[in-house]
Amino acid sequence: MSIFFDIFKETTNTKDGLSELNLNAGKEFFLRLFSVFPVSAFLTTTDGKILMSNAQMEQMFGYSHEEFLRRSSPELYADQNVRKELIKIFLRDGYVRNFPATLKKCSGEPLDVSMNIVGVHEGKEIHLLGMMENVSAIKDIKKELAEAKEKFAFLYQNSNDAIMQLSPPDWQFTAGNPATIKMFQVKSEEEFVSLAPWELSPEYQPDGQRSSDKAKAMIDKAIKEGSNSFEWTHKRYKGDNFPVEVFLIRMEVRGSSFLQAIVRDISEQKKAVRSLEAFIQKTKERISIVLPDIENALLKKGGENQQCNDQLDCLLSSIDSIVSVMEDKTAYLENVRKTMVSLSSELSAEKDKLSELNVRLETTLKSIGDGVFVVDKTGIVTFGNPAVAEITGYDIEEVIGKKCCTALRFYSSNKELEVNTDIKETMSSGVERRMPPNAVLQKKNGQKIPVSAVVSPMRNNVEEVIGCVVVFSDMTKERGLDKAKTGFVSLASHQLRTPLSTILWYIEMLLSGDVGGLEEKQREYLEDIQKLCVRMTSMVVALLNTAKIEMGTFAIKPMPINIFDSLMASFESMRPIAEKKNIFLEKRISPEVPTVAADPKLLGIVFDNLFSNAINYTLNGGHILVSIDLKDDDIVISVADDGIGILPEDKEKVFAKLFRSDNAKETDVSGTGIGLYLTKSLVESWNGSIYCESPQKGKEKGTTFFVTIPISGMKERAGKENIISN
């Protein structure tokens, strides 16, 4: 599936992030490709009218080709909100990839798919090409598999019969359930599988055969005929011999055979049978002694001998009860046999189902583009799908059976040496984790690629974590798209600045008189134009910074900074304007404020903004008070002016993008409305806070802005961009 998606992406002209296939250029090729897609595909206009559908699509939905062309795509959705969501994502990103959606077949039945959409050009029009995979099948398989697994696990764990596994080539024991451990009186499964079968049997069987020879014969028969049942004598580990009944069944999972043995300890039965036999023998002897006397007595006395009658009755009823007990026991043994047979065939059926479902799941996993692998508690990778090999560049043999960090190395924390942190975390906490957005995977060739990955815990039937499943996908292309977006914003701002700068120079030439004299009014108008252009230039910078902030891509580079120096440097750059307006600056600096780790550029932007606002919105002859204080774990900087103030209802809004309050607009027409939004975003990026008070404490008007920096300083952050300070 992903291959086709990639083909489309490769053969596109990427314009502003939109994927386009030039239909006209390769229409023939496209139509042929379309008809032989191994996935369902259909082409619609932007209104939803269906233009084309392929055979897979028709089969999946149950419509004929003609029926499809008469319909529109909303008819394929049970819930129109799903369709709206898809269109929203397409408009936002220019494509849709692997979106899980539920559509509707012709019969009305729901259909779970993974939806992909790409834009296709035909002349001037854009059509939508939808490609999808049926994931209902996968859902059902997974459900059945989970149920079968649960059932089997329960039987295995809780059966009183010993269930064990022998594997080729030499048919040693490779697994044993709790009942096995108990039966052989070993300490654990580990101990059990470390023993050779001859250590758990006497050298000779009761029939005189050598145990090793007879065992081989029994195994061969089971392999040839599929199963074998027989009596055997085992030996408890470091203990006595005991008799058992054995059912050997041949199992096939993923092309390899192994043997499963169900073993029942019949020592008790044997004992019972022996004591029964002894009792019968004794009774027989008793009867043979007593009976002739009774017969004689009867013949002689003619039947009126009460004592003899009683004795006879007694004997007869004893015989009856013995016979019925014997019958019961035989029936019991017979039932036991039947139960064992049905148990083992049930187990066998479950295991067959499991192996069938496993095969189906594997086939499905093979075609998924995402890498899926399983790590057990010891850190060994027990399963990996082909995509794991494809993405990492390792052969699958280099991954499976080895420690996870040998081949699969995920880096997500900022510490260089910490590998696979999220996998280790989930293994110990049992909580599912999504790796952070900066997660990378190291390929075999050493290259680190950005990935999106989720780690989920796997539990056994007693809720213990026995491993983790990791699903990951290569995000290089998506990140590339992000990069293209930021590149676009930078390019756009360059394109906007170019004519602006030229206009400014032209106005400069006109105002300088180089190209002729000017009337007073002409000069005035030109100066107005100049101011407007300057305003636009600062708007472009603000927009660019906003884009960078929203994409979270700017860097923080802290170094030891004296906050006071930084504040004063910022004010100095505005001194001329402040002096023009006769605004007086007062400072109140607490002496305890230490040097702190801070990014001077970001600080500069924040302070510039606060000062610029204070000066702009304060009338001539006004007053600005700047103070730096220590409060708990923060350094608090405040800039207080006695200017126009902020109305209570605007206090929260001033930090919003492009917001300008009415009283601000009256005072200064040229503000962008972006300054405080930018400032707030920057302050929050270093875990500081910003808030305002208006009117000033103890006064009737004015505004005070507070900004905090944690004493522990700003944390360094890597970023692809730097915020522009001018």
Partner 1 sequence: MKKILIIEDEPSARKVMTDKFSREGLDVVCAFNGEDGLAKALEIKPDLILLDLIMPKMDGISMLRKLREDGEFGRKAQVMILTNITSDDEERMKELTFLGPECYLVKANWKLVDVVQKVKETLHVE
User: Running DSSP on this structure, what letter comes out for residue 125?
Assistant: E
- Would you say 496 or 711 has its CB closer to partner 1? 496
> Least distance in Å: CB of 412 to partner 1?
24
- Would you say 426 or 537 has its CB closer to partner 1? 537
The correct pick among 273, 500, 518, 711 for binding partner 1 (CB under 8 A) is 500
| Nearest-angstrom CA–CA distance, 418 and 411 | 7
155 binds partner 1, rule: CB under 8 A: no
CB atoms within 10 A of CB 404: 25
| Nearest-angstrom CA–CA distance, 619 and 624 | 11
Torsion over CA: 346, 349, 355, 359 (sign)? negative
- Would you say 452 or 490 has its CB closer to partner 1? 490
The correct pick among 80, 307, 378, 726 for binding partner 1 (CB under 8 A) is 726
Question: Stretches 80-88, 129-137, 406-414, 536-544: which one binds partner 1 (CB under 8 A)?
Answer: 536-544
Name 601's Cβ contacts closer than 8 Å, sequence gap at least 6: 557, 722, 723, 725
**DSSP class per residue in 274-309:** HHHHHHHHHHHHHHHHHHHHHHHHHHHHTT--HHHH
490 binds partner 1, rule: CB under 8 A: yes
CB 606 within 8 A of CB 666: no
Question: Stretches 247-255, 370-378, 505-513, 651-659: which one binds partner 1 (CB under 8 A)?
Answer: 505-513
C-alpha count within 13 angstroms, C-beta hemisphere, residue 382: 11
The correct pick among 165, 318, 406, 722 for binding partner 1 (CB under 8 A) is 722
The correct pick among 382, 429, 502, 582 for binding partner 1 (CB under 8 A) is 502
- Would you say 325 or 533 has its CB closer to partner 1? 533
CB 702 within 8 A of CB 645: yes
Size of the site for partner 1 (CB under 8 A): 25
Pairing type for strands 20-22 and 110-122 reads parallel
> Least distance in Å: CB of 15 to partner 1?
17
Cα separation values, 332 from 263, 273, 329, 358, 475, Å: 17, 12, 5, 38, 64
The correct pick among 501, 582, 590, 712 for binding partner 1 (CB under 8 A) is 501
Question: Stretches 311-319, 489-497, 585-593, 668-676: which one binds partner 1 (CB under 8 A)?
Answer: 489-497
> Least distance in Å: CB of 93 to partner 1?
25
* Structure token digits, residue 558: 């802290």
- Would you say 356 or 716 has its CB closer to partner 1? 716
603 binds partner 1, rule: CB under 8 A: no
The correct pick among 497, 523, 581, 701 for binding partner 1 (CB under 8 A) is 497
The correct pick among 205, 412, 537, 672 for binding partner 1 (CB under 8 A) is 537
494 binds partner 1, rule: CB under 8 A: yes
170 binds partner 1, rule: CB under 8 A: no
The correct pick among 29, 154, 332, 505 for binding partner 1 (CB under 8 A) is 505
Instruction: Please give the angle made by the CA atoms of 224, 227 and 231, to the nearest 5 degrees.
Output: 115
User: Running DSSP on this structure, what letter comes out for residue 721?
Assistant: B
Question: Stretches 203-211, 301-309, 385-393, 539-547: which one binds partner 1 (CB under 8 A)?
Answer: 539-547
Q: Which strand (E) or helix (H) includes residue 463?
A: none
Torsion over CA: 478, 480, 485, 486 (sign)? positive
The correct pick among 544, 603, 654, 714 for binding partner 1 (CB under 8 A) is 544
* Structure token digits, residue 140: 């059902």
Name 34's Cβ contacts closer than 8 Å, sequence gap at least 6: 41, 43, 52, 54
Name 54's Cβ contacts closer than 8 Å, sequence gap at least 6: 34, 35, 37, 40, 41, 42
Which residue pairs, CB below 8 angstroms and at least 24 apart, start in 692-700? Answer: 692/646, 692/651, 692/654, 694/645, 694/646, 694/647, 694/648, 694/651, 695/645, 696/640, 696/641, 696/642, 699/642
> Least distance in Å: CB of 522 to partner 1?
18
Name 540's Cβ contacts closer than 8 Å, sequence gap at least 6: 493, 496, 497, 500
> Least distance in Å: CB of 527 to partner 1?
14
CB 373 within 8 A of CB 385: yes
- Would you say 167 or 538 has its CB closer to partner 1? 538
709 binds partner 1, rule: CB under 8 A: no
Question: Stretches 159-167, 363-371, 411-419, 488-496: which one binds partner 1 (CB under 8 A)?
Answer: 488-496
- Would you say 193 or 518 has its CB closer to partner 1? 518
107 binds partner 1, rule: CB under 8 A: no
> Least distance in Å: CB of 721 to partner 1?
7
Convert residues 644-673 into a mask of x (bound to partner 1 by CB under 8 A) and - (unbound).
------------------------------
The correct pick among 506, 564, 659, 691 for binding partner 1 (CB under 8 A) is 506
- Would you say 359 or 484 has its CB closer to partner 1? 484
CB atoms within 10 A of CB 213: 11
724 binds partner 1, rule: CB under 8 A: yes
The correct pick among 498, 573, 670, 712 for binding partner 1 (CB under 8 A) is 498
509 binds partner 1, rule: CB under 8 A: yes
Q: Which strand (E) or helix (H) includes residue 536?
A: helix 520-550
**DSSP class per residue in 551-572:** TT-B-B--EEE-HHHHHHHHHH
- Does residue 360 sit in helix, strand or coil? helix
723 binds partner 1, rule: CB under 8 A: yes
Residue whose C-alpha is closest to residue 20's, from 120, 117, 87? 120
82 binds partner 1, rule: CB under 8 A: no
- Would you say 186 or 489 has its CB closer to partner 1? 489
- Would you say 315 or 724 has its CB closer to partner 1? 724
526 binds partner 1, rule: CB under 8 A: no
- Would you say 281 or 502 has its CB closer to partner 1? 502
> Least distance in Å: CB of 608 to partner 1?
15
416 binds partner 1, rule: CB under 8 A: no
Cα separation values, 435 from 255, 264, 420, Å: 36, 49, 10
> Least distance in Å: CB of 573 to partner 1?
14
> Least distance in Å: CB of 548 to partner 1?
9
What are the backbone angles phi and psi of residue 113, rounded to the nearest 5°?
-130, 165
Name 321's Cβ contacts closer than 8 Å, sequence gap at least 6: none
The correct pick among 514, 592, 633, 649 for binding partner 1 (CB under 8 A) is 514
Q: Specify which residues 249 forms β-bridges with.
A: 227, 260
541 binds partner 1, rule: CB under 8 A: yes
Binding site for partner 1 (CB under 8 A): 490, 493-494, 497-498, 500-502, 504-506, 508-509, 512, 514-515, 537, 540-541, 544, 721-724, 726
